[in-house]
Amino acid sequence: MRTHLRWVLPLALMASLAFLVLRSPTRTSLHQVSSGVDHDPPTIPANPAPPEAIIRKRAGLTAAQLASYREAFTNRLYPAFDSWAKVYSGHIPFNPQLLTVDALVGELGRGNYCMYTFMLDGVTLSIEDVKGVVHVSYLSSPEAKKLAVLPRGVPPNPELPLPRSEIERMASLDSGSRFPTADIRLIPTTFSSAMNGGVQVQIGGDPNNAASWKLTLVFGPDGKLTYYCRGHL
């Protein structure tokens, strides 16, 4: 999400340029009057169309925006999700059939970037469309809240909920790359959180810089994904 804050400065610059452009015809018109040259005044639309909002809730989408979303869901979003769901089959914390066109919560972005967010049985799922390249980018289940709570009163269980080989297989299929074993870091969640028996998976990048990780996965003690974040692959 932070990556796309890069929209803010360009948009501010565009707004400033638009302000200057709208002011410049007025100065030109005054110059023309003072010089005695007869020209028609510039035509400025009385009600220029406002730019599309960056954050759009489903309830506020226009008929045209809804039609565009439905086309995107059918032709791009659902096929990308279906491929992702097959990779993590058996490890998804909701029934994949719950993802329907009506599960949309809202959209973020415009132009060549849009993130679509869905709510599925309490699980937040986001799918990104970046210049026509679509992939699941984020997942967080209610169980993920335990990651922010310190362990207390329960004997720690450092056992992994699924084999390393299974994690490596899924990461390879998801990313389209085969990562060296050293780049797949498995950390039991029991030592740092109230999630006893889970595992955090950090893939690629600098171990000390979470923003550089290619994939971040957390599996709960039942082997289900409780958290998923896709970085730049």
* Pairwise CA distance, residues 89 & 5, whole Å: 33
CA distances for 167 relative to 19, 98, 115, 150, 185, angstroms? 53, 24, 26, 25, 10
| pLDDT surpasses 90 at 29 | no
Write down the pLDDT at residue 49: 56
In this predicted model, what pLDDT tens digit does every residue of 166-177 receive, in sequence order? 999 999 999 999
The mean predicted confidence, pLDDT, of the chain is 84
pTM: 0.76
Share of the chain above pLDDT 70, in %: 78
In angstroms, rounded to a whole number, what is the distance separating the alpha carbons of residues 46 and 27?
Answer: 19
Which pLDDT score, from 0 to 100, does residue 53 have? 83
Per-residue pLDDT at 152: 84
pLDDT in tens, 122-167: 999 999 999 999 999 999 999 999 999 998 888 899 999 999 999 9
The confidence band for 42, taking pLDDT boundaries of 50, 70 and 90, is: low
Decide: 181 and 133 in contact? Cβ < 8 Å: no
Please tell me the predicted confidence (pLDDT) of residue 4. Answer: 37
- 62-116 pLDDT, tens digit each: 999 999 999 999 999 999 999 999 999 999 999 999 999 999 999 999 889 999 9
Asked if residue 40 has pLDDT above 70, the reply is: no
- CA 160, CA 200: separation in Å to the nearest integer? 10
Token pair, residue 160, equals 């992994």
Contacts of 28 (CB under 8 A, 6+ apart): 42
